[in-house]
Amino acid sequence: MLDPEISTEPHRTGELRRLLIFLLPATTAMYAAFNGVQQILVPAQVEAFDPGSKVGNLALITTVGALASMVALPLGGAISDRTRSRFGRRSPWIVVMSMLSAVLLLGMGQSTGIAMLAVTCAAVWFTANFYQGAFAAILPDRVPVARRGLAASVIGLGTPLGIMFGVNLASRVGQPWSYAIFGAVFVVTSVALVLGAREGSSADIVVPQRVPRRSSDAVRVFFQAFRSTDFALAFASRASLSLAYFTVSGYLFYSMQDYIGAEHIPGGDVAVAVSTLATISVVTWSVVATFTGWLADRLDRRKLFVGISSAGLALSMLVPILSPTWTGMIVYSFLSGAFIGTYFAVDLAVMSLVLPDKANEGRDFGILAVATGLPQVLSSVIAGALITLFHSYIALFAFAAVCAFAAGFIIMRIRAIC
């Protein structure tokens, strides 16, 4: 166990404020790269390489990338848990992995075929998610429990800002330049975070560990957090909500193109239409995220906020089914933005409060982050199968609605959090 006297939490208000100020642009840059690449750049590249096989090829690339992220997320948390340096546990990996990601993003922009795109995408997802594994541990490391709703709200605000910046940049700037800008901003904001809100030294922290003798014991120890019922429920709820979100968002480009129809979109430009919907969603998301985290802290009802937002997201998925029009998609974007904004403003705080082992918070937070990466794998396979089987994108929205409802039901069963 960690020495109970050792704490990296910035208890002084000024230190916490400075940390949150630098976390916001870093979070924004990370999600800008994730969403600009996933929602605009990769689908457009896949279609350009082979229009007739775009659905299957996108599912393949998304699956490969998500598998890489599933390995990298807990690995980044676990390795950073054990990193000892005068710069801290997380900061060295934040800097190194942001730089590697930037170089690999340039490689994605130069891809000349499906195979090269799949390899470079997997590499980017690995380094970027290793980064995220270390980055996410900042919340339990350095934010007091009483202020985690506020911190989660700030980080949650970075998500929609990143989506808005990412999809608008990717849809309006040339492909190579988009990749280069994403990489550059990723590095600059990461370095600014490390230098502007310095992490304390971890050189003197001692974490005694019993080394497992067998590989099966090592696996069991690595995943021992699942012995906690609340941790397991939090993982299941987050996975179900993420499955709902990625099943729809991962195929939004093709939904607009083939379900709504380019001829029914103002201007007929699918990429611009997707960025417009994303902008509507994230503006609503941003407005909601600015106060719901604070309100959840004030009322001490974080679990209730997550449950309501999950149910609301499920209802918003029904709008495109009932109204498969450009207007219907605008309404859907507004509603989904409001509910997903509420969810992400509180979700991280809930996740940080179910971590059962102080000495391995980075590892366990990374495992909870896999509840986002794993659905990406499943969503691409499920979405491709649903489209092929039903010959309609309605099945995507119906499936997502069921998953979102399930997420809300599961989260309400956690006992340790109000």
pLDDT at 368 over 50: yes
pLDDT value, residue 47: 86
Domain membership of residue 367 (yes or no) is yes
Do residues 196 and 21 make contact, with C-beta atoms less than 8 angstroms apart? yes
Q: What single-letter amino acid sits at 146?
A: A
Reference 382, options 366, 398, 370; nearest CA is 398
pLDDT grade for 377, boundaries at 50, 70 and 90: low
214 band by pLDDT with thresholds 50, 70 and 90: low
- At 67-92, the pLDDT tens digits run 888 888 888 888 888 888 888 889 99
Cα 134 to its chain centre, rounded Å, is 14
Looking at the domain assignment, is residue 46 inside a domain? yes
Which residue's structure tokens are 């103002």?
A: 266
Q: Are 137 and 366 in contact (CB under 8 A)?
A: yes
Q: Which of 81, 82, 76, 80 is nearest to 30 (CA)?
A: 76
In a domain, 218, yes or no: no
Tell me, yes or no, if the pTM score tops 0.85: no
Please state, in angstroms and rounded to a whole number, the distance separating the CA atoms of residues 270 and 34. Answer: 19
The percent of the chain in helix, strand and coil, each rounded to the nearest 5, is: 80, 0, 20
Half-sphere exposure (Cβ direction) of 78: Cα atoms closer than 13 Å: 17
Q: For residue 327, which amino acid is it?
A: T
Give the model's pLDDT for residue 381.
Answer: 75
What's the sign of the alpha-carbon dihedral 232, 133, 71, 113?
Answer: positive
Percent of the chain with pLDDT over 90: 28
DSSP-assigned letters across all residues of 179-230: HHHHHHHHHHHHHHHHHHSPPPP-TT-----PPPSSHHHHHHHHTGGGGSHH
C-alpha distances in Å from residue 219, one per residue of 48, 174, 183, 235: 42, 44, 34, 18
Percent of the chain with pLDDT over 70: 91
Domains held by the chain: number: 1
Could you tell me if residue 229 is inside a domain?
yes
Highest mean pLDDT: which range of 75-89, 325-339, 347-361: 325-339
Spatial CB neighbours of 331, under 8 Å, sequence gap ≥ 6: 319, 323
* Structure confidence at residue 349 (pLDDT): 76
CATH code of the domain covering residue 192: 1.20.1250.20
For residue 8, being part of any structural domain is answered with: no
Number of Cβ within a 10 Å radius of residue 117 = 23
Judge whether residue 360 has pLDDT over 80.
no
Mean pLDDT of 225-239: 88
pLDDT for residue 51 is more than 50? yes
212 belongs to a structural domain: no
Q: How far apart are CA 122 and CA 375, in angstroms?
A: 16
Provide the domain limits for residue 349.
13-202+224-411
What pLDDT was estimated at residue 219?
64
At 119 the pLDDT is: 93
Instruction: Judge whether residue 405 has pLDDT over 80.
Output: yes
Q: How far apart are CA 218 and CA 378, in angstroms?
A: 26
CA dist., res. 62 & res. 185, Å (int): 23
Residue 127 pLDDT: 95
The predicted structure's pLDDT at residue 2: 41
Question: CA nearest 109: which of 50, 54, 165, 184?
Answer: 184
- Give residue 131's pLDDT: 94
Residue 299 within any structural domain of the chain: yes
Check pLDDT > 60 for residue 120. Answer: yes
pLDDT at 8 over 70: no
Q: Find out whether 250 and 383 touch, Cβ atoms under 8 Å.
A: yes
Buried b (16+ CB within 10 A) or exposed e, 73-107: bbbbbbbbbebeeebbbbbbbbbebbbbbbebbbb
Q: Residue 219 contacts by C-beta under 8 Å, 6 or more apart in sequence?
A: none
User: In 36-174, which ranges are continuous DSSP H helix?
Assistant: 42-49, 54-81, 91-109, 114-136, 138-142, 148-172
Tokens (6 digits) for 417: 């959090």
pLDDT of residue 212: 54
Tell me which of 65-74, 90-99, 275-284, 377-386 is least confident: 377-386
pLDDT average, residue stretch 4-9: 43
Which region among 175-189, 275-289, 371-385 has the lowest average model confidence (pLDDT)? 371-385
Q: What is the pLDDT of residues 142-185, one digit of tens each?
A: 888 777 777 877 777 787 788 778 888 888 887 889 999 999 99
Q: Is the pLDDT of residue 359 over 80?
A: no
- Which helix H or strand E contains 392, and what residues bound it? none
Contact yes or no for 322/328 (Cβ under 8 A): yes
pLDDT class of 210 with cuts at 50, 70, 90 = low
Cα–Cα nearest to 334, from 349, 315, 353, 357 = 315
Q: Is residue 7 part of a domain?
A: no
- 147, amino acid identity: R
